[in-house]
Structure 1
Amino acid sequence: MTPLFQGTAHTERERPVIMSKVGLVFVPAWGAGHITSMLEFAKRLLLAAATGTRRFSITVLLIKPPSRDFSSTSLSHMRSLSSAGLDVRFHRLPELDPPEHTDGPEDFISLYFQLHKPHVKAAIIASSSPVPISAILIDFFATPLIDVAHELSLPAYVYFSSNSLMLGLILHLPVLDAAAAETPTELDRAGGDYYIEVPGVVRLPWGLMPSPFLDRKSRGYAWFVYHGRRFREAEGIVVNTAAEIEPAYLSALAEGRFVVAEGGGPAMPKVYPVGPVLSLGDGGGDAEGGAGGRECVVWLDKQPEGSVVFLCFGSGGCFGAHQVKEMAAGLERSGHRFLWCVRSMVVDGSNRQIVDTNPDEVLPQGFLERTKDRGMVWPSWAPQVEILSHRAVGGFVTHCGWNSCLEGLWFGVPMLAWPLYAEQHLNQVLMVRDLEVAVGLEVDRKGGNFVAAGELERGVRCLMGEGEEGRRVRAKVGEMRRASRKAVEDQGGSSYMNLKQLAEDLVCLSVAQGAQQ
């Protein structure tokens, strides 16, 4: 294999050091929220093991995104990791034709990983010299690759880039599915007074379940049942959360309460909470935004402390013309300062791409002129980390993607929760109900996650004002800011200790494999 990026090189003189290393193969998904999180985790694992008797050598196998290449942000992370003096290298797998006639993104992603099984196996074998591979770590959509691990007699670990509540529900989904086979109408009810309950752990309205869970007849649902079963075959699951953030759900996972059901089955694998895993060192990743990404930060420099509400909806968040006009009306009537990232979607066949927006084409006539003294509409990619860390930002209207939630917690920014897709409605429950660090919006999920102007106005006023709920949310998010930072401290932080434990467990596996050879 020809490396895409090459980390630390090795010579024959270094061979004794090489032989004391533990070889690992990582297989990330190509989406920005998946690959950047796994790469940051790889960096932390390499650094955590740097003082041990054995160090790690990591090979990252890259699956080319369908219909495009990796985002500039992802490529920037790869270059940064390769140039950091760490033993890591990147290899592109052979390009394959994407699967046809798929039933939604979850079906597509899972099938695409399945198609890559022979190439992943060949790449792992090729990567086993001079450092033998001791384990593979895969994205949570890549569980078909556990078959490859079995064929090569290697332990497989799953990297779960979302939270432990979502992890628990995926593990529990086969239990729900088995129950639904006896009463097939139960899981088809999406709303009303129907609840999903894991006894002694959590009770949730069915209408707030992750999108693929809502349609039992879809292949996306079938894949999540499949992934839930395959998770139990893993040696361990690395999850991007912390004991300080989700103590109850992590305890339930450790005790196996999400997987208890008739018929037994594989035991619950060990869970390693190592979060928050965030990429914070690049000031927000200006590689994608270019120099223009600084203009909105310069505008923030001129605003009073804690006065601006920041609206940003992730790499896949965009809205139709009617919703944009409702948002504009709500922001204008709220009276608060705002920085609003507005982007559009272009659809070309099955390929959807988020692109820059011309504000004059989507905003109400005169809106920009009327709000020019207290607002900025940003029609391009925005450096979210740099913005959330800015002293002028006092609130964050977010789609509740897990990376964005963790960034909000890290910087102590109170949030207004507007979930759009995937597991984001579930994340809203965690942020609003469990952690109390966000104000909830009334979102019409059946109406395309529509939020009316008056509801956005109410939410912004509540978040940024002096009412009781806003004060409580600000106090809670301040507590979580301190807790999330403490979790990753190298002096007793819970996530750091879990990371060290994982490193020790991987070394022990490597030693055991060496003894058997």
Structure 2
Amino acid sequence: MAKTVAELIFIPLPVIGHMKSTIELAKLLTNQDQRLSITVLIIQPLSGLRTGSAIATYIESLANKSTQQMRFITLPQDKNLPTRDPKAPMRFVNNYINTHCKHVTNVVTEIISQPGPGQLSGFVIDMLCTSMIDVANGFNVPTYVFYTSSACYLGFQLYIQTLCDEQNKDVVELTNSDQEVNVPGFVNPVPTKVFPSGYDTKEGVDYVLLISRKLREAKGIVVNSFLELETHAIESLTSDKSVPDVYPVGPVLNLEGGYMENSESDVIKWLDSQPCSSVVFLCFGSLGSFDEVQVKEIAYALERSGHRFLWSLRQPPSLEQASRNPGDYEDLGDVLPEGFRERTARTGKVIGWAPQMAVLAHSAVGGFVSHCGWNSILESLWFGVPIATWPIYAEQQMNAFEMVVELELGVEIKLDYKKDLFNPKNDFVTAKEIESGIRRLMDDDNIRVKMKEMGKMSRATVREAGSSYASLGRLIQEFIGNVP
């Protein structure tokens, strides 16, 4: 076994999509070069997330996965946490992360004080944990940011900072206008209607600026994307001398699948009985849910479309609930139109939580109605399943725009739908719009062919001689080179 040379500190965001991809990146690095040793510092979930939630369960599972090259340490949680303000949710997230800086300092101090085979080489932190750059500076080691979204969105985020800091533009005013903006990294002008939630408020823009300014202090930005997918955006970033070195290493996915629950087995058995590429799969992520009126519109659209479907339907949390995560309905009949399940019993299946990766991998699935979270897009690409876009929050509207307009790998149900997770008043999509999107998704052979080709590229790029494999190799050499 090769001698460990470089010790890395990984700090993921305690959100399931961010954390899983960060852990997978750590696995990739240690599997490719045994000279690396990684300590993952786990920030416990934000207060208010229930025990037994997906993120809490996942963190518990990590305790038994430590190896000689990778170990997990859960950080203490302060008793006096910052106050959650529904009008400034991102400020709360940032303040919560900041409360862990002292704990990270203490743990890393302890690590380097003990005799070990490797020397501290750097921090690899989540894109929303940028305050940890100051902690890394205290140990005189560089920081690398793992950017769990697209290269296009990274370019957009840095562009917004340039508009504010160098051109003194009012981004709130721009976001609330009805314009199109030329953004570096995008071939097409970007309509302000697909700017992410939060850019229309001063609090939101201040948070974006805080993160973007810190991003520029990093030594490198590791992006969960690949050159063949986002060629223009990645070339735009790498040619900009004001941007740290960019390492596209994606798609970074958890392809192990894990254990099979009974409910998951039932879903796969149902798919086994469906014709190839005949099923449209509807799934809206860990925070995706709709009110009863919108649920009925989706049901009407599915019934009228005539297509086979698998629908992951989640119950929204009440405003009084401590957890902001959706759950499963006790009785789906309470929210679906009367007689819907009986009329569609032979062609459709409505479920709660969905084993998304296993479903997308199944040959019966021919289309994916998605919230356009970046992980979901990468999974859909990997399996060559075309997407119909229904973004909900965060940067998903820009991801949808990229898939439909920039890359022509998806069809639009809606590009600018936005849901405020802290406010029950939201946009509305009609059954006619949904039905039209589903029909185009399932009938467009051109997009299906393009998606299959991109799927082949996504697999080739991470294999030896692929561009992401080479980029990961350069990153490893950087880590090793940081050791004196």
Which amino acid in structure 1 is aligned with residue 256 of structure 2?
A: G
Q: Is the 8 A contact 2:390 2:417 kept in 1?
A: no
1:100 matched to which residue of 2?
A: 83
Q: Distance in 1 between matches of 2:392 and 2:228?
A: 26
RMSD of aligned residue pairs (Cα, Å): 2.2
Q: For 1:69-148, what aligned pairs fall within 5 Å after superposition? A: 69=51, 71-72=53-54, 75-76=57-58, 79=61, 83=65, 85=67, 87-96=69-78, 97-102=80-85, 103-128=87-112, 129=114, 130=116, 131-148=118-135
Which moves more between the two structures, 422-431 or 71-80?
Answer: 71-80
1:437 matched to which residue of 2?
A: 409
Q: Is the 8 A contact 1:194 1:205 kept in 2?
A: yes
Q: Give the superposition deviation at 1:434.
A: 1.6
Q: Give the superposition deviation at 1:101.
A: 4.3
Q: Give the superposition deviation at 1:172.
A: 1.8
- 1:308-361 Cα offsets, whole Å, 9 max, x none, are 000000111000000000000000000000000000122335531211112111
Where do 5+ consecutive residues of structure 1 fail to align? 1-13, 258-266, 513-517
- 1:413-471 Cα offsets, whole Å, 9 max, x none, are 01111001100000001111122111011356367242110111111111112xxxx12
Q: 2:434 aligns with which of 456, 467, 476?
A: 456
Q: 1:63 aligns with which of 39, 43, 65?
A: 43
Against the structure 1 CA distance between its residues 322 and 126, is the aligned structure 2 distance closer, same or farther, given a 3 Å change threshold? same
Does residue 45 of the first structure (1) align with residue 29 of the second (2)? yes
Q: Is the 8 A contact 2:371 2:390 kept in 1?
A: yes
Q: Give the superposition deviation at 1:126.
A: 1.3
Q: Distance in 1 between matches of 2:404 and 2:441?
A: 12
Which amino acid in structure 1 is aligned with residue 304 of structure 2?
A: R
Q: Distance in 2 between matches of 1:77 and 1:388?
A: 25
- 1:106-143 Cα offsets, whole Å, 9 max, x none, are 22221111111111111111122324321111111111
Q: Give the superposition deviation at 1:84.
A: 7.6
- 1:276-324 Cα offsets, whole Å, 9 max, x none, are 0000112xx447xx32221111111111111100000011100000000
Q: Is the 8 A contact 1:409 1:480 kept in 2?
A: yes
Does residue 176 of the first structure (1) align with residue 158 of the second (2)? no
Does residue 402 of the first structure (1) align with residue 389 of the second (2)? no
- 1:187-218 Cα offsets, whole Å, 9 max, x none, are 42445541232368552111101112222x12
Q: Normalising by structure 1, report the TM-score.
A: 0.86
Q: Distance in 1 between matches of 2:334 and 2:52?
A: 29
- 1:170-193 Cα offsets, whole Å, 9 max, x none, are 222221223674x54x64244554
Q: Distance in 2 between matches of 1:461 and 1:442?
A: 14
1:250 matched to which residue of 2?
A: 234
Q: Distance in 1 between matches of 2:125 and 2:457?
A: 28
Which amino acid in structure 2 is aligned with residue 401 of structure 1?
A: G
1:353 matched to which residue of 2?
A: 325
Q: 1:36 aligns with which of 20, 25, 29?
A: 20
Q: Normalising by structure 2, report the TM-score.
A: 0.91
Q: 2:248 aligns with which of 265, 270, 273?
A: 273
Q: Is the 8 A contact 1:191 1:205 kept in 2?
A: no
Which amino acid in structure 2 is aligned with residue 93 of structure 1?
A: L
1:212 matched to which residue of 2?
A: 198
Q: Is the 8 A contact 2:226 2:251 kept in 1?
A: yes
1:471 matched to which residue of 2?
A: 445
Against the structure 1 CA distance between its residues 415 and 101, is the aligned structure 2 distance closer, same or farther, given a 3 Å change threshold? closer
Q: Distance in 2 between matches of 1:148 and 1:83?
A: 26
Find the residue that maps to 1:373 and give its secondary structure. coil
Find the residue that maps to 1:346 and give its secondary structure. coil
Q: Is the 8 A contact 1:388 1:413 kept in 2?
A: yes
Q: Is the 8 A contact 2:310 2:350 kept in 1?
A: yes
Where do 5+ consecutive residues of structure 2 fail to align? 419-424
Q: Distance in 1 between matches of 2:186 and 2:369?
A: 29
Q: Distance in 2 between matches of 1:70 and 1:142?
A: 24
Residue correspondences, number:
468
Which amino acid in structure 2 is aligned with residue 462 of structure 1?
A: R
Against the structure 1 CA distance between its residues 406 and 199, is the aligned structure 2 distance closer, same or farther, given a 3 Å change threshold? closer
Q: Distance in 2 between matches of 1:407 and 1:73?
A: 19
1:260 matched to which residue of 2?
A: none
Q: 2:138 aligns with which of 151, 160, 163?
A: 151
Against the structure 1 CA distance between its residues 359 and 89, is the aligned structure 2 distance closer, same or farther, given a 3 Å change threshold? same
